[in-house]
Structure 1
């Protein structure tokens, strides 16, 4: 069945493959972003065709609205308690299945949902696979109170890691600061490359005012990479150990 809202064949290939991981009765985390949205559409189609039940927790208001409109049952994560599986996209994916997420400004909820799951699976197109993280701006969610002081502390942390003169940009939308679903700001770090993602993650997590960063390290177990011809490649964490 053709869905006119789905135009990217690579993303659709990954999303279709991921729907096969979903089993009736699962407690499922739904990601945010363009590829995750395609997955939600394909999942809703399969649920309708096969008539089985799921309990879903969404990572954003946008995903909640989309999933609900398509007939999926979306509940609060606290009401479900724990998830069997989360399927989400990524902005960058390195050879160790470490990720940068947050292009959709939902990485706080995405990380909470992913780490409240037995398993996280990423779906992406080939353009998201990189040798080293950092080309995509790294999102850092900060509370509005004292955000400029927080940005100064972030800049100092980058200097300590020899990531000097890297712009720390406040994300804007329609000429105003973008607000996340939690009412926070996003700082985007234009790093170009991240030599040590673990060290950077520790530095950012230690800063007062930083709510969460977009480095997802040792969280993803499987990546399904879609190709334009409709085929997919699977990258598994156990293959790298």
Structure 2
């Protein structure tokens, strides 16, 4: 891939490291986002070069379309069953390998896929690593019906966690309400820092109208952080536990 920017070089390095973990016969979940694009491209190269026999599920229509355009056959997750490995990107990664995901609006399918995998590996550039989650907006996917009532419930939850008066914006694309692959809308919460990720995740999940949120807590096993010079740093769950 010629003429990559430093940021894209870092993403590509992480993608290469992740694809090196793929073995013939694996059942894979393919993530969504800018770094995941590099991952799918590098996977396609290995499939062509080595004739890998894989069963792959995609976390979005965009990833499905890209993979199939590159010769990777995509199946429904239910047709595959359980996955050996899911490789995905992240918008933020903290030292405990907790994540914010959903910048691309695919966090519902991404979380379902990750939860159906023996292992979740995240690929990212150094800008995604943070000391505390929250600078990146937290996506909350909600059902359009009764959305204003859902907003009130979310606002009450944020107030109870010391996050009052934080912006909550309905995601737009090209002047229209953004719609997820499931036809829902996304409220982006600008929180700066999240003091209690577990309490926020639990509270959001309990609100009627909330379909899913972008907090991925305790799901990532390994984060591969690429650098502009091509090096890759590994962040592991084992390191976190020490």
TM-score bracket relative to the smaller structure: over 0.9
Q: How does 1:189-200 map onto structure 2 within 5 Å?
A: 189-200=189-200
Match of 1:90 in 2: 90
Cα shift readout 1:38-57 (whole Å, capped 9, x = no counterpart): 10001001110111111000
Cα shift readout 1:73-107 (whole Å, capped 9, x = no counterpart): 10000000010000000000000000000000000
Q: Provide the C-alpha distance between the structure 2 equivalents of 1:216 and 1:91, rounded to a whole number of angstroms.
A: 11
Secondary structure of the 1:199 match is helix
Please tell me the root mean square deviation across aligned C-alpha atoms, in Å.
0.9
Secondary structure of the 2:192 match is coil
Q: How does 1:6-85 map onto structure 2 within 5 Å?
A: 7=5, 8-85=8-85
Q: Provide the C-alpha distance between the structure 1 equivalents of 2:37 and 2:110, rounded to a whole number of angstroms.
A: 14
Match of 2:103 in 1: 103
Cα shift readout 1:166-201 (whole Å, capped 9, x = no counterpart): 011100111111000000000000000001100100
Cα shift readout 1:13-37 (whole Å, capped 9, x = no counterpart): 0000111000001000000000001
Match of 2:166 in 1: 166
Q: Provide the C-alpha distance between the structure 2 equivalents of 1:17 and 1:56, rounded to a whole number of angstroms.
A: 18
Flag structure 2 segments of 5+ consecutive residues without an equivalent.
Answer: none
Q: Provide the C-alpha distance between the structure 2 equivalents of 1:115 and 1:178, rounded to a whole number of angstroms.
A: 25
Q: Provide the C-alpha distance between the structure 2 equivalents of 1:25 and 1:74, rounded to a whole number of angstroms.
A: 14
Match of 1:207 in 2: 207
Q: Provide the C-alpha distance between the structure 2 equivalents of 1:3 and 1:119, rounded to a whole number of angstroms.
A: 32
Q: Provide the C-alpha distance between the structure 1 equivalents of 2:2 and 2:107, rounded to a whole number of angstroms.
A: 27
Q: Provide the C-alpha distance between the structure 2 equivalents of 1:146 and 1:20, rounded to a whole number of angstroms.
A: 46
Q: For residues 215 and 101 of structure 1, do their structure 2 counterparts lie closer, same or farther at Cα, with a shift above 3 Å needed?
A: same
Q: Provide the C-alpha distance between the structure 2 equivalents of 1:200 and 1:108, rounded to a whole number of angstroms.
A: 17
Q: How does 1:83-162 map onto structure 2 within 5 Å?
A: 83-162=83-162
Secondary structure of the 1:149 match is helix
Q: Provide the C-alpha distance between the structure 1 equivalents of 2:37 and 2:56, rounded to a whole number of angstroms.
A: 14
**Structure 1 residue 118: Cα displacement:** 0.2
Flag structure 1 segments of 5+ consecutive residues without an equivalent.
Answer: none
Q: Provide the C-alpha distance between the structure 2 equivalents of 1:3 and 1:117, rounded to a whole number of angstroms.
A: 33
What is the count of residue pairs matched by the alignment?
239
Q: Provide the C-alpha distance between the structure 2 equivalents of 1:55 and 1:151, rounded to a whole number of angstroms.
A: 39
Q: For residues 88 and 3 of structure 1, do their structure 2 counterparts lie closer, same or farther at Cα, with a shift above 3 Å needed?
A: farther
Cα shift readout 1:113-138 (whole Å, capped 9, x = no counterpart): 00000000000000000000000000
Secondary structure of the 1:132 match is coil
**Structure 1 residue 3: Cα displacement:** 6.1
